[in-house]
């Protein structure tokens, strides 16, 4: 979203501050709500038939957010081509594929981790669970739908991608910072 939620507000504050300093800043969003903002660009919607295929593939493999082709439109967009820096916020939710991270890193890449979804097997808040640290979320006590093998595969893919992608990770809290230091992103 471009205007809904805490991460969107933070991204907008960063953009406003950057514009006041004379920088040209745009944002690509999946759900555009500020239709009159010329600096906010929608990355597109998926046809219903493809969405059903995506949901089936995601359920079958457990690789949440890995089969979304939307970023091809961003990578080939003139605004992206002109960019010096790409700053990611809230990239989980069915519209971003971590497989594109190395392609986005063609630019200086910054990723603000507003939650733990990036380094867990799609767990927004692990509570007291520590399985994301040691065994790739193998025996998740909160998710009985995905098989343990799927969670392990998801974690291993994330770990490989982050290890080959030059990215600066930003933790907006000490809590997230401490978790990142113990995660697959360490």
Residues 178, 173: Cα–Cα separation, whole Å:
9
> Chain-centre distance of CA 47, in angstroms?
21
- Residue with the two structure tokens 């392609």: 103
| Residue range 32-47: mean pLDDT, rounded | 76
- pLDDT of 95 > 70? The answer is no
Residues 4, 148: Cα–Cα separation, whole Å:
33
- pLDDT of 167 > 90? The answer is yes
Determine the pLDDT at residue 136.
76
What is the bridge-based pairing of β-strands 168-170 and 108-112? parallel
Question: Could you tell me the pLDDT band of residue 178, with boundaries at 50, 70 and 90?
Answer: very high
- Which residues pair with residue 41 across a beta bridge? 28
Least confident residue range of 111-115, 144-148, 149-153, 176-180: 144-148
Burial group, residue 96, by CB count within 10 angstroms (0-12, 13-18, 19+): buried
Close Cβ partners of 104 (under 8 Å, ≥ 6 residues apart): 71, 75, 86, 88
For 54-86, how does the pLDDT look when each residue is reduced to its tens digit (9 = 90+)?
777 777 776 666 666 667 778 888 999 999 999
Determine the pLDDT at residue 154.
80
φ, ψ for residue 89, nearest 5 deg: -135, 140
- How many other β-carbons are positioned within 10 Å of the β-carbon of residue 136? 21
CB distance 170 to 112 below 8 Å: yes
- Which residues pair with residue 168 across a beta bridge? 110
> Chain-centre distance of CA 30, in angstroms?
12
Q: Read off the DSSP letter of residue 182.
A: T
φ, ψ for residue 44, nearest 5 deg: 110, 165
| Residue range 113-127: mean pLDDT, rounded | 81
pTM for the model stands at 0.82
């Amino acid at each position: 979203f471009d205007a809904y939620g805490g991460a969107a507000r933070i991204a907008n504050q960063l953009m406003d501050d950057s514009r006041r300093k004379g920088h040209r800043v745009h944002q690509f969003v999946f759900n555009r709500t500020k239709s009159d903002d010329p600096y906010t660009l929608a990355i597109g919607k998926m046809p219903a038939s493809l969405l059903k295929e995506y949901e089936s593939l995601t359920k079958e493999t457990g690789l949440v957010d890995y089969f979304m082709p939307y970023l091809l439109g961003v990578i080939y967009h003139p605004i992206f081509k002109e960019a010096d820096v790409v700053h990611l916020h809230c990239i989980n939710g069915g519209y971003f594929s971590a497989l594109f991270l190395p392609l986005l890193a063609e630019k200086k890449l910054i990723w603000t981790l507003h939650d733990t979804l990036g380094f867990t097997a799609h767990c927004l808040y692990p509570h007291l669970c520590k399985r994301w640290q040691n065994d790739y979320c193998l025996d998740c006590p909160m998710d009985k739908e995905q098989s343990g093998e799927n969670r392990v595969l998801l974690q291993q893919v994330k770990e490989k991608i982050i290890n080959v992608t030059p990215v600066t990770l930003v933790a907006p809290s000490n809590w997230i910072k401490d978790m990142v230091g113990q995660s697959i992103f360490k």
